[in-house]
Structures are given as structure tokens and as C-alpha cells.
């Protein structure tokens, strides 16, 4: 079972490497919205998407069938299990499909800047489509420097999961200080210090505790207003890192490593939250569906992830990202492709059916409040996080998520093991590395 989850670090490295070459993709980037046959003509469009599990593919097929019923002249040929790399290679080779969809927003900046995905503004203007039907954060992660080359198709929102039995009557924490206190209180150890149950595992190597999912709660600004790295300039990064290391040290780094090595697979029944080995964890909305199917006896709750003391007004927001869909340069049926995209991303019934089938957040305000949603009650947290004005995402760049990959590598390989002696100097060095890579990619 696979959903629109973010790539792990190895895949993130591949995406970042792809960003270094995306700007070299051949071809122009002018208005192509009038190219190919008109939308009313009889034709077949080819659509690439990343879903591959049977129930996911079936959900997309159902959406395509509903579109064909509304537009009987347009037949949709779906091609499953496509990656960002395959999409970019097809565009670069001059033989792309008519519509492409990606699980991640990591490549939006490079696709928009290079023109690999067409500017959708002409299509949007001609259709009279109102972007106000999408939450602000979804509007942000589908464009780069004013060029909108993608539309939002379902979303991922992050919040705090907690095991009610392990919480022993405690309420979910609203502040980082309270989270830290509970993490220590709820942790169970063997006499030698080995972690049997972790109250909260702060390491960036713990599944979805990747930096972007946690630092958002600290209010970090990944980039400066002029698009440069902001690690040494934003004190929120230092606050996050000091909190991370203090809890790592409380557990003991060797104990943390031992605990991490003992974990099962994230997207299998062996996930430690399913097994009662973790009391609290930050995770995406899809976890509700996994728990429903793989650990139905676990009594759990969800809440927004906590924020630092003094920032309680920001409580309720979280990290948001999502699936995006667009028209690649060279699409032979661009106008019909746009009709499919418009239907898939704005039709409430289609979005609700899709969200129910995949356990993801629907991406329009109307679908978010639809009575047709049949997801478990714990899912409500993620609908609210997605709509919350304090939610944010990581900004797009010309080389994708390279800056996030470099930060995670720094935290994982240097900071958590205790190798950093001068944090300020290390963050300045990290800024330099990120800025050099951005400059190389045309940023």
C-alpha cells in the first residue's frame, strides 16, 4: 500500500540531483495553450501518474471514467507508477505524455523555471477558474516566482498522533516544552538504558520526523527574501536544533541508534506506533488509513503538532505538501489535457471519492467541507491543519529540495552524533554550500 508520502532521504538525494540538470531541459517555454487539437475534438490523452497499488490505480481509473462520461470525446489512457525522473526524461527527450502528475512538490521550482511544465496561467484565464477555491498554501506550492506550472491534486498535512493507552490520561501537548516533558515521562527503558517505549523520538532518522515536518512548528524560514539559504540567519533553526539535541542527549545517542535499528518498516504493520513502542509521533494524514487496516485495535488520537512556548497563537498549523498535476512542454493534446486537469482538481465529487479511496486530504475548500468524506474521525485534524493559515510548506527552488537534503544530512551525520563544536560556524558553512548549489542551478 502506497500513498502520496514524501520520499525518504535516498530518493530525496536523487530528486536534488535531478534539479541540477532540469534547467538544461531542451525546448522553449512560451504559451502553448493553443497547440494541438481543440478540446471539443475526439481524441485520446495520455496521463502519467505515480500511484501503483491496486486500490490507488482503481481510484484514478474511476476518476478518469467519470471525466470521460462528462467529456465523451476525450478518452484517457492512464500510465501508472511514474517518477519525477521519468517525467523529466520524457520531456527532455521530446516525447512526453499529455498530462503528468507527481507525488511531491520538490520539483515544482525546477519544472516551472525551465518551462518543462507549461505555464498554466493562459489555461486558467481562458477557463475563468478561481484559484481562491484552494487554500493559500496549495496555491503557493504549485508556482515558482509567479509562474504557475502545476495545480494541486490532493494534499498531505502533518500532525501529532498519540497512543491513548500509553498517554495514560495525558492530553496531547500544545507546546514543545510540554512535548518534551511528556516524552520523558512516557518513555520506558530497560535497566541498561535501552528504549522499550519512546515517548517521542526526536531524531530526523525516525520516519516522518524529517526536518521540514518538525521545523515548521518552530516557524523557520528556509530561504531569505532574496532566495538564499537562511540557516544561520534564522534563529528558529538554532532553537529547533538545540531542542533536538537536548532530547537526543537525554535518551543517549547510542540508545537512540539502537532504537532506530530495531524499528520495522514505516508503511507496514511493524511500524512502532502500530506496535505500541512510540507514544507520540508526527505523521501525515495517510497514517489513519494504515492504522484502520493494519492496527485497528490501537486506540489513538490526533492533534496539531505543538509549537514553542510563546508562539501558542500559531498552534493549529502544520507542514503541508501534496500531489501536483500539470501539462508538460510538448504535450500533443494540451487543451484536452487541461480539461482533464481542471475536472480532476476542482470537481468536488471526484476529489471526495479520490480522498476517501487514498486517505489523503482533498485540495479544495468545498471538498474539505463535503459531507461525502467518509474518513475516520481522527482525520478531521488534518483537514483543519490544511485550512489553517499558520500552515506552511517548504519553498520551491531551481534545484528542488537540495537545501532540505543538505540540512537533513547535516543534522543526521554531524549534529545528532555530537560532532559539531561551533553551531554558528556550521550553519554558515551550510548556507554557503546551499547557495553555491542554487547558483549552479540558476537560482
State which of 343, 359, 387 marks the end of a domain.
387
The region of weakest confidence among 43-57, 309-323, 324-338 is 43-57
State which of 387, 402, 420 marks the end of a domain.
387
With respect to residue 394, please indicate whether it lies within any of the assigned structural domains: no
Looking at the structure, do residues 162 and 146 belong to the same domain, yes or no?
Answer: no
Between vectors from CA 319 to CA 281 and to CA 259, what angle results, nearest 5°? 25
Q: For the chain, how many structural domains are there in total?
A: 2
| 135 within 8 A of 253, measured Cβ to Cβ | no
Instruction: Report the CATH number at residue 301.
Output: 3.40.190.10
Other beta carbons within 10 Å of 27: 15
With respect to residue 436, please indicate whether it lies within any of the assigned structural domains: no
Give the three-class secondary structure for 83: coil
Give mean pLDDT, residues 218-231: 95
With respect to residue 133, please indicate whether it lies within any of the assigned structural domains: yes
Give mean pLDDT, residues 273-299: 93
pLDDT of residue 334: 97
pLDDT score of 21 more than 50: no
Looking at the structure, do residues 227 and 277 belong to the same domain, yes or no?
Answer: yes
Per-residue pLDDT reduced to its tens digit, 331-351: 999 999 999 999 999 999 999
Give mean pLDDT, residues 105-133: 94
Looking at the structure, do residues 127 and 173 belong to the same domain, yes or no?
Answer: no
pLDDT score of 13 more than 80: no
Looking at the structure, do residues 149 and 184 belong to the same domain, yes or no?
Answer: no
Looking at the structure, do residues 209 and 286 belong to the same domain, yes or no?
Answer: yes
- Residues in contact with 164: Cβ distance below 8 Å, sequence separation at least 6, in sequence order: 299, 300, 301
pLDDT score of 6 more than 50: no
State which of 296, 314, 332 marks the end of a domain.
314
**Average model confidence (pLDDT) across the chain:** 91
| 337 within 8 A of 151, measured Cβ to Cβ | no
Give mean pLDDT, residues 231-243: 98
Q: Are strands 74-79 and 43-48 parallel, antiparallel or unpaired?
A: parallel
**Cα–chain center distance at 176:** 22
Give the three-class secondary structure for 206: coil
pLDDT of residue 3: 40
The region of weakest confidence among 3-12, 81-90, 425-434 is 3-12
Provide the grid cell at 263.
Answer: 524499528
246 Rama class: left (phi>0) / alpha (psi -120 to 50) / beta: alpha
Give mean pLDDT, residues 40-68: 92
pLDDT score of 22 more than 50: no
With respect to residue 375, please indicate whether it lies within any of the assigned structural domains: yes
Domain that holds residue 196: 158-314
Looking at the structure, do residues 63 and 126 belong to the same domain, yes or no?
Answer: yes
| 289 within 8 A of 359, measured Cβ to Cβ | yes
Looking at the structure, do residues 250 and 310 belong to the same domain, yes or no?
Answer: yes
The model carries a pTM of 0.88
Q: Residue 52 — very low, low, confident or very high, per pLDDT cuts 50/70/90?
A: confident
Beta bridge partners of 46: 77
Looking at the structure, do residues 164 and 294 belong to the same domain, yes or no?
Answer: yes
Give mean pLDDT, residues 230-252: 98
Looking at the structure, do residues 171 and 292 belong to the same domain, yes or no?
Answer: yes
Give the gyration radius of the chain's Cα atoms.
22
With respect to residue 17, please indicate whether it lies within any of the assigned structural domains: yes
User: Which H or E element spans position 196?
Assistant: strand 195-200
pLDDT score of 113 more than 50: yes
pLDDT of residue 196: 97
pLDDT of residue 11: 44
Give mean pLDDT, residues 175-203: 97
Q: Residue 443 — very low, low, confident or very high, per pLDDT cuts 50/70/90?
A: low
pLDDT of residue 25: 44
Looking at the structure, do residues 221 and 137 belong to the same domain, yes or no?
Answer: no
pLDDT of residue 169: 96
Query: Mind giving me the DSSP string for 314-373?
Result: GBTB-BEEEEEEE-BTT-TTHHHHHHHHHHHHH-HHHHHHHHHHHT-B-SSHHHHT-TT-
What is the CB-side half-sphere exposure of residue 389 using CA atoms within 13 A?
1
Q: Say how far apart CA 283 and CA 1 lie, in whole Å.
A: 16
Buried b (16+ CB within 10 A) or exposed e, 199-215: bbbbbbbbbbbbbbbbb
Per-residue pLDDT reduced to its tens digit, 248-272: 999 999 999 999 999 888 878 889 9
Looking at the structure, do residues 229 and 366 belong to the same domain, yes or no?
Answer: no
Looking at the structure, do residues 285 and 183 belong to the same domain, yes or no?
Answer: yes
With respect to residue 264, please indicate whether it lies within any of the assigned structural domains: yes
Q: Residue 18 — very low, low, confident or very high, per pLDDT cuts 50/70/90?
A: very low
pLDDT score of 19 more than 50: no
More confident position, 31 or 293: 293
With respect to residue 441, please indicate whether it lies within any of the assigned structural domains: no
User: Which H or E element spans position 422?
Assistant: none
pLDDT score of 285 more than 50: yes
With respect to residue 351, please indicate whether it lies within any of the assigned structural domains: yes
Per-residue pLDDT reduced to its tens digit, 349-386: 999 998 998 889 999 999 999 999 998 999 999 999 99
pLDDT of residue 17: 45
Amino acid at each position: 500500500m502506497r500513498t502520496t508520502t514524501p520520499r525518504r532521504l535516498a530518493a530525496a538525494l536523487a530528486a536534488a540531483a535531478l534539479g541540477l540538470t532540469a534547467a538544461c531541459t531542451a525546448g522553449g517555454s512560451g504559451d502553448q495553450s493553443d497547440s494541438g487539437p481543440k478540446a471539443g475534438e475526439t481524441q485520446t490523452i495520455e496521463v502519467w501518474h505515480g500511484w501503483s497499488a491496486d486500490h490507488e490505480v482503481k481510484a484514478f481509473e474511476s476518476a478518469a471514467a467519470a471525466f470521460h462520461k462528462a467529456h465523451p470525446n476525450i478518452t484517457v489512457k492512464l500510465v501508472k507508477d511514474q517518477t519525477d525522473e521519468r517525467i523529466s526524461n520524457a520531456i527532455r527527450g521530446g516525447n512526453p505524455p499529455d498530462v503528468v502528475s507527481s507525488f511531491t512538490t520538490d520539483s515544482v521550482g525546477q519544472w516551472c523555471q525551465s518551462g518543462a511544465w507549461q505555464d498554466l496561467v493562459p489555461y486558467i484565464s481562458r477557463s475563468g477558474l478561481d484559484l481562491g477555491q484552494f487554500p493559500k498554501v496549495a496555491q503557493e506550492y504549485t508556482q515558482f516566482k509567479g509562474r504557475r506550472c502545476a495545480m494541486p491534486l490532493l494534499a498531505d498535512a502533518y500532525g501529532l498522533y498519540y497512543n491513548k493507552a500509553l498517554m495514560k490520561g495525558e492530553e496531547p501537548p500544545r507546546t514543545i516544552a510540554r512535548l518534551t516533558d511528556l516524552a520523558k515521562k512516557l518513555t520506558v527503558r530497560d535497566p541498561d538504558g535501552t528504549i522499550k517505549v519512546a515517548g517521542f523520538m526526536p531524531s530526523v532518522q525516525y520516519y516522518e520526523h524529517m526536518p521540514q515536518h518538525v521545523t515548521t512548528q518552530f516557524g523557520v524560514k528556509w530561504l531569505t527574501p532574496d532566495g538564499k539559504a537562511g540557516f544561520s540567519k534564522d534563529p528558529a533553526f538554532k532553537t529547533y536544533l538545540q531542542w533536538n539535541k537536548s532530547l537526543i542527549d537525554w535518551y543517549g545517542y547510542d540508545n537512540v541508534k539502537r532504537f532506530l535499528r530495531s524499528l520495522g518498516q514505516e508503511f507496514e504493520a511493524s511500524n512502532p506506533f502500530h506496535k505500541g513502542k512510540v507514544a507520540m509521533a508526527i505523521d501525515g494524514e495517510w497514517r489513519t488509513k494504515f492504522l484502520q487496516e493494519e492496527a485497528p485495535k490501537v486506540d489513538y488520537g490526533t492533534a496539531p503538532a505543538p509549537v514553542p512556548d510563546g508562539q501558542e497563537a500559531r498552534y493549529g498549523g502544520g507542514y503541508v505538501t501534496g500531489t501536483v498535476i500539470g501539462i508538460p512542454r510538448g504535450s500533443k493534446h494540451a487543451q484536452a489535457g487541461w480539461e482533464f486537469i481542471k475536472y480532476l482538481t476542482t470537481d468536488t465529487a471526484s476529489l471526495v471519492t479520490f480522498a476517501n479511496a487514498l486517505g489523503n486530504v482533498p485540495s479544495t475548500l468545498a471538498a474539505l467541507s463535503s459531507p461525502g468524506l467518509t474518513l475516520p474521525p481522527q482525520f478531521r485534524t488534518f483537514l483543519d491543519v490544511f485550512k489553517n493559515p499558520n500552515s506552511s510548506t517548504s519553498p520551491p527552488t531551481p534545484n528542488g529540495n537540495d537545501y532540505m537534503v543538505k540540512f537533513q544530512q547535516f543534522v543526521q551525520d554531524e549534529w545528532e552524533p555530537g560532532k559539531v563544536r561551533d553551531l554558528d560556524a556550521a550553519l554558515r558553512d551550510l548556507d554557503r554550500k546551499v547557495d553555491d548549489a542554487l547558483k549552479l542551478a540558476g537560482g
